[in-house]
Structure 1
Amino acid sequence: MVRPKPQSVDRATALRYMGAAGWQPDAASTALLDNAEQQLMKTATPRAVWRRLPGTVLPLQNCGHDLERHLKGCDEVLVMTATLGSEVDTLLRRMELTDIALAATTDAMASVLLEQVCDALEEELRAELLKSGRYLTGRFAPGYGDCPLELNDEICLAADSVRGCGVAVTGQHLLAPRKSTTALLGIADHPVTGTLAGCSTCHLRETCVFRKKGTTCFSQK
């Protein structure tokens, strides 16, 4: 299903993704951001597919303690897959050959745009479930905390992502197109928020740029 684009990309978050949190861009950098956003918004075709399932359908027994804590108290799950489309991959590859600064900027902005698309969809689903007295956690993606990337295979299969939004899983359990994501959200009959994964189980804890600065990725949001 095609999803609407936001009116603009959240530049503050894009700058954070580029390691420039709180920086005020000069004229040249603003022009670079403008160019990246213009080309990205013209190229991206956001699509998403989702499905509501009983909590016992997916094989979650060996998917880590972080996901288990996130889904605690939930008797259903919602699987989601979203993408900006293969055209964005083509755009980024072309930029990487011609203008590396523009490519890096567009890449960061594409990640933010995908997150904004997912945020909007999540809020729609949350409001719809609330009408029937059901509550939704936030999103939890494979690869986060101690949750294995292999779960991408199961989520995409359950959501029928290839037919639903054109997202496939590679042999390394990564997603194609590149600017795509999956997520699991818990559903319960009482208010639930889920639980953020901690640094102790994160796959990137040894190289994390946020930890080197004495902070965390979730404290930046």
Structure 2
Amino acid sequence: MELCYPDRDLTREILRCFGASGWQPDEASSRLLRQAETLLRSAATPRGIWRELPLTALEVDTCGDDLARHLHGCDRCVLMAVTLGSGADTLMRRLELTDIALAAAVDATASAVIEQLCDELESRIRREVQASGRYLTGRYSPGYGDCPLALQDDLCLMLDTVRGIGCSVTPEHLLTPRKSVTAILGTADHPVTGARAGCAHCLLRNKCAYRKRGTTCEN
């Protein structure tokens, strides 16, 4: 399905993706961010896909303790994927060769936009699933906590993301187009909340840029 490019001001989220949370951009930086947003808006083709399946469709036992805790009490799951499309990738590759500052601004803007699109699709899913009398956890993506990135292969296969939204997985289990996200939500016939992974078992905890700054990816 097609998703709507966000209309609200994402400056705060973009600066966070830049690693500059709380910084007040000067006029030159503001112009750069506006230019990046204009270029990305023209290049991106936001799309999303989702599917509800029995929890047994996933081999949760091989996906780490964090995901198992997140899905505890659930009997079904929702798989979702969102992408900005290949046009965004083409734009960033071109700018990386011609204007590295603008390329960085577009990259940060794309990261903020993809997060907003995930929120949009999750809200749609939540309304539809809750209308059937069921409850959902929050979303959880492969690569967080001790959940292996390789799970992306199965998620994309079960969602048929190649035909559905033009998104595939590399041999290194990375998504392409690169500004794409997969996630899992648990569903149940009773209230469930899921569980955040935290830093303790995160695969990136020893080289996390957020932890080096004394914060986390949630803040």
Could you state the TM-score of these two structures normalised by the residue count of structure 1? 0.96
Q: Which residue of 2 aligns with 1:31?
A: 31
Give the C-alpha shift of residue 210 in structure 1.
2.0
**Amino acid in the other structure paired with 2:133:** G
Unmatched 5+ stretches in structure 2: none
Write the mapping of 1:122-133 to structure 2, written as runs, cut at 5 A.
Answer: 122-133=122-133
Does the 8 Å contact 1:9/1:112 carry over to 2? no
Q: Which residue of 2 aligns with 1:192?
A: 192
Q: Which residue of 2 aligns with 1:114?
A: 114
For the residue of structure 2 that corresponds to 1:187, the secondary structure is strand
Does the 8 Å contact 1:9/1:113 carry over to 2? no
Q: Which residue of 1 aligns with 2:43?
A: 43
Structure 2 Cα separation of the partners of residues 210 and 58 of structure 1:
30
Structure 1 Cα separation of the partners of residues 111 and 123 of structure 2:
19
Q: Which residue of 1 aligns with 2:145?
A: 145
Structure 1 Cα separation of the partners of residues 13 and 119 of structure 2:
14
Write the mapping of 1:207-218 to structure 2, written as runs, cut at 5 A.
Answer: 207-218=207-218
Structure 2 Cα separation of the partners of residues 9 and 111 of structure 1:
14
Write the mapping of 1:55-204 to structure 2, written as runs, cut at 5 A.
Answer: 55-204=55-204
- Pick closer, same or farther for the CA change 1:143–1:152 going to 2, 3 Å: same
Does the 8 Å contact 1:67/1:147 carry over to 2? yes
Does the 8 Å contact 1:162/1:168 carry over to 2? yes
Q: Which residue of 2 aligns with 1:7?
A: 7
How many pairs were matched up? Answer: 219
Unmatched 5+ stretches in structure 1: none
Structure 2 Cα separation of the partners of residues 175 and 207 of structure 1:
21
CA deviation string 1:114-161 (max 9, x = no partner): 111110110111111111211111111110110001100100011111
Structure 1 Cα separation of the partners of residues 138 and 187 of structure 2:
10
Structure 1 Cα separation of the partners of residues 172 and 209 of structure 2:
24
Q: Report which stretch shifted further, 208-217 or 85-94.
A: 208-217
Could you state the TM-score of these two structures normalised by the residue count of structure 2? 0.97
Runs of 4+ in 1 over 3 A off after TM superposition: none
Structure 1 Cα separation of the partners of residues 39 and 8 of structure 2:
12
Does the 8 Å contact 1:9/1:109 carry over to 2? no
Superposed CA RMSD in Å reads 1.0
Query: How many percent of aligned residue pairs carry the same amino acid?
Result: 58
Give the C-alpha shift of residue 8 in structure 1.
3.8
Give the C-alpha shift of residue 9 in structure 1.
5.1
For the residue of structure 2 that corresponds to 1:103, the secondary structure is helix
